[in-house]
Amino acid sequence: MGREQTIRVVAAVLERDGRYLITQRRASAVLPLLWEFPGGRVEENETDVHALKREVRHRLGAEIEVGKLISFVSHPYDHYVVDLFLYECTLVSEALQAKNVNAFKWVTSADFDQYPFTPADEASMNKLLGVT
């Protein structure tokens, strides 16, 4: 059996007043209607910073500043592996629109368990929150 494809994914941790921005995947997406930190796939010859800015603009119509890398997890799915890099980010534009996501919400970390997250995002959240 051949080596599984590894997909590099970047996500933004955006915090405001003790709440974090999460987005819900569209019904037509892989892992439909699960929640995640906003972001997406890094294309070939693209930096993490460029990919993260592009994906947040594409999904939420917002501009961000990308800060430091705060977490990394590698999560195997059935037919591929996701390497998820979480970056601390700041919103430059306050207006958000659910352009290419089903929904978005600002939630406290205490409320994360009320939202079904993608496995990779759940693993990174557990790492962030010190839960193993």
Query: Tens digits of per-residue pLDDT, 59-99?
Result: 999 999 999 999 999 999 888 999 999 999 999 987 899 99
CATH number of the 5-129 domain: 3.90.79.10
CA distance 12 to 91: 10
The pLDDT of residue 61 is 97
Question: How many C-beta atoms lie closer than 10 Å to residue 2's C-beta?
Answer: 4
Q: Give just the sign of the alpha carbon dihedral 23, 82, 8, 80.
A: negative
**Conformational region of residue 102, where left means phi above 0, alpha means psi within -120 to 50, and beta covers everything else:** alpha
Task: Check pLDDT > 90 for residue 48.
Answer: yes
Task: Check pLDDT > 70 for residue 126.
Answer: yes
CA distance 76 to 63: 30
CA distance 51 to 104: 19
Q: φ and ψ at 109, to 5 degrees?
A: -65, -30
Task: Check pLDDT > 70 for residue 131.
Answer: no
pTM attached to this predicted model:
0.91
Under a CB-based contact definition with an 8 Å cutoff, are residues 62 and 93 in contact?
yes
